[in-house]
Structure 1
Amino acid sequence: MFKMKISILYINVGILTALSFLSSCNDDFLDRSSKDKVEAPFFFNTAKDLEVATNALYTMLPDFNIYTEDAASDNLVPLNPSTKIRGNRIVPVGSGSGGWSWGNLRRINYFLSNYHKANDDAAKAKFSGIARFFRAYFYYDKVKTFGDVPWYNTVLDAKDPDLYKARDSRILVMDSVMADLDYAIQNIPAEKQVNLITRYTAMLLKARIALFEGTFRKYHGIAGYQEYLSLAEQAALQLINSGAYTLFTEGGSESAYRNLFGRYNQNDIETILAVDYETGKRVHSLGSSFTSATQGSYGITKDFINSFLMSDGSRFTDRQGYQTYNFFQEMQNRDPRLTQITAGPDFKVTGKNTREPVNLSITTTGYRIIKALPDNSQWSTSGSYFDIILFRYAEALLIYAEAKAELGTITQADLDLSINKLRARAGMPNINLIQANATPDTYLANMYTNVDNGANKGVILEIRRERRVELFNEGFRWDDLMRWKAGKKIEQPMVGIYFAGVGSHDFNGDGNADVFLHTGSTTGAPTSVTSFVNILQRTLRNPLTGSQNSNSGNIDPFPTGGKFDEDRDYLAPIPSEDLLLNKNLVQNANW
Structure 2
Amino acid sequence: MKNLLNTILFFTGAILLLCSCNKNYLDQPPKDRLDADQFFNTATDLEVYTNDFYDMLPDYHLYDATYGLSTSDDVVSLIEPAQITGTRLVPVQRGSGGWAWSNLRAINFFFQNYQKCPDEAARIKYGAIARFFRAYFYFDKVKTFGDVPWYSKVLEAGDADLYKARDPRTEVMDSVLADINNAVANLSAEVQVNKITKYTALLLKARICLHEGTFRKYHTELNLQSSAEKWLQDAADAAGQLISSGAYKLFTTGGAAAAYRTLFARSDQDATETILAKDYNPTFAHHTLSYLMTSPTSGSWGATKDFVNGFLMADGSRFTDIAGHDTLGFYAEMQRRDPRLTQIVAGPGFTVYGETAVEPVNLNITTTGYRVIKALATRDQWGASSAYNDIILFRYAEALLINAEAKAELGTLTQADLDNTINKLRSRAGMPPANLVHDNGNPDTYLGAEYPNVAGANKGIILEIRRERRIEMFNEGLRWDDLMRWKDGKKLEQPMLGIYFSRLGAFDFNNDGKPDVYLYDGDASGAPAGVATKINIRQRPLTNGTSGNFYPYRNKIQFQEPKDYYYPIPLEELTLNKSLVQNPGW
TM-score (norm 1): 0.94
Q: Deviations over 1:400-449 (max 9, x none)?
A: 00000111111111111111100000000110001111111111111111
Whole-Å Cα distance in 1 between the matches of residues 530 and 293 of structure 2?
24
Whole-Å Cα distance in 2 between the matches of residues 278 and 193 of structure 1?
17
Whole-Å Cα distance in 1 between the matches of residues 353 and 6 of structure 2?
31
**Which residue does the alignment assign to 2:98?**
99
- How far did 1:528 drift? 3.0
The answer on whether the counterparts of 1:275 and 1:388 sit within 8 Å (CA) in structure 2 is yes
Q: How does 1:448-527 map to 2 (within 5 A)?
A: 448-451=451-454, 453-527=455-529
- How far did 1:529 drift? 1.0
Q: Deviations over 1:240-286 (max 9, x none)?
A: 01111000000000000000000000000000000000112110111
- How far did 1:561 drift? 3.4
CA gap 1:10/1:361 in 2 versus in 1, 3 angstroms: farther
Structure 2 unaligned regions, length at least 5: 16-28
**Which residue does the alignment assign to 1:225?**
228
**Which residue does the alignment assign to 1:547?**
none
The residue type equivalent to 1:569 in the other structure is D
TM-score (norm 2): 0.94
Whole-Å Cα distance in 1 between the matches of residues 332 and 463 of structure 2?
25
- How far did 1:508 drift? 0.8
- Greater mean alpha carbon deviation, residues 106-115 or residues 37-46: 37-46
CA gap 1:507/1:566 in 2 versus in 1, 3 angstroms: same
**Which residue does the alignment assign to 2:246?**
243
1:566 aligns with 2:561: yes
Q: Deviations over 1:309-345 (max 9, x none)?
A: 0000000000011010000000000000000000000
**Which residue does the alignment assign to 1:3?**
none
Q: CA RMSD in A?
A: 1.5
The answer on whether the counterparts of 1:71 and 1:298 sit within 8 Å (CA) in structure 2 is no
Q: How does 1:350-429 map to 2 (within 5 A)?
A: 350-429=353-432
- Greater mean alpha carbon deviation, residues 8-17 or residues 313-322: 8-17
The answer on whether the counterparts of 1:502 and 1:516 sit within 8 Å (CA) in structure 2 is yes
1:41 aligns with 2:43: no
1:280 aligns with 2:283: yes
Q: How does 1:431-450 map to 2 (within 5 A)?
A: 431-450=434-453
Whole-Å Cα distance in 2 between the matches of residues 214 and 289 of structure 1?
35
**Which residue does the alignment assign to 1:164?**
163
Structure 1 unaligned regions, length at least 5: 1-5, 21-32, 543-549
1:211 aligns with 2:224: no
Q: 1:343 aligns with which of 326, 342, 346?
A: 346
CA gap 1:10/1:97 in 2 versus in 1, 3 angstroms: farther
Whole-Å Cα distance in 1 between the matches of residues 415 and 124 of structure 2?
40
Q: 1:57 aligns with which of 49, 53, 70?
A: 53
- How far did 1:7 drift? 3.3
The residue type equivalent to 1:568 in the other structure is K
- How far did 1:387 drift? 0.2
Whole-Å Cα distance in 1 between the matches of residues 458 and 253 of structure 2?
34
**Which residue does the alignment assign to 2:9?**
14
Aligned residue for 1:272, secondary structure, equals strand
Aligned residue for 1:541, secondary structure, equals coil
The residue type equivalent to 2:260 in the other structure is Y
Aligned residue for 2:392, secondary structure, equals strand
**Which residue does the alignment assign to 2:74?**
75
Aligned residue for 1:516, secondary structure, equals strand
The residue type equivalent to 1:396 in the other structure is A
CA gap 1:480/1:16 in 2 versus in 1, 3 angstroms: farther
Q: 1:528 aligns with which of 507, 527, 530?
A: 530
Whole-Å Cα distance in 2 between the matches of residues 479 and 515 of structure 1?
36
- How far did 1:398 drift? 0.3
- How far did 1:132 drift? 0.3
- How far did 1:13 drift? 3.3
CA gap 1:268/1:83 in 2 versus in 1, 3 angstroms: same
Aligned residue for 2:284, secondary structure, equals coil
**Which residue does the alignment assign to 1:29?**
none
Q: 1:576 aligns with which of 565, 571, 579?
A: 571
Provide the identity percentage.
Answer: 60
- How far did 1:12 drift? 5.8
Whole-Å Cα distance in 1 between the matches of residues 539 and 274 of structure 2?
42
The answer on whether the counterparts of 2:2 and 2:54 sit within 8 Å (CA) in structure 1 is no
Whole-Å Cα distance in 2 between the matches of residues 520 and 155 of structure 1?
63
CA gap 1:125/1:35 in 2 versus in 1, 3 angstroms: same
Whole-Å Cα distance in 2 between the matches of residues 213 and 14 of structure 1?
41
Q: How does 1:164-183 map to 2 (within 5 A)?
A: 164-183=163-182
- How far did 1:70 drift? 6.1
The residue type equivalent to 1:472 in the other structure is F
For these two proteins, the number of residue pairs brought into alignment is 566
**Which residue does the alignment assign to 1:86?**
85
The residue type equivalent to 1:339 in the other structure is T
The answer on whether the counterparts of 1:424 and 1:430 sit within 8 Å (CA) in structure 2 is yes
